[in-house]
Amino acid sequence: MTETTEIFREFNFEAAHRLPNVPDGHKCARLHGHSYRLSVHVEGPIDPTLGWVMDFGDLKKAVQPLVEQLDHYYLNDIEGLENPTSEVLAVWLWERLHPGLPGLSAITVRETCTSGSTYRGNSGA
């Protein structure tokens, strides 16, 4: 079995949303915003020559276009984010990053300092 190491890089973005499917009177049904923190994790063996799993700059290049698509936007208007919970957002990000980011192992979306969601992909895929 090959030993692996997991690295991560964090990103921040600001966005507004509302949750259309919550019960009547729920505060999250109202338009509001968050200062999101996104952690993207990649797992793999440490390259014996370079000494890293992946260049953090390459990880940033892979993720930054998605951050720009979300930053300062109304998430409900983005295709696939009509009900933009942190769980749905984590899966949405995974689906867009996974095909081009070998070793993607987890995505964590924090919508507050104390609340968020981690998605580790479809184990059946």
Which is catalytic among the residues 6, 10, 14, 72?
72
Q: Give catalytic status of residue 10 as yes or no.
A: no
Query: Of the residues 28, 41, 87, 98, which is catalytic?
Result: 28
Closest CA to 14 of 72, 86, 93, 58: 72
Give me 103's structure tokens. 């070793």
List the beta bridge partners of residue 43.
Answer: 6
Among this protein's residues, is 111 annotated catalytic? yes
- Are 99 and 121 contacting, i.e. CB atoms less than 8 angstroms apart? no
> 3-state secondary structure string, 48-101?
CCCCCCCCHHHHHHHHHHHHHHHCCEEHHHCCCCCCCCHHHHHHHHHHHHHHHC
- Catalytic residues, by residue number, are 28, 72, 111
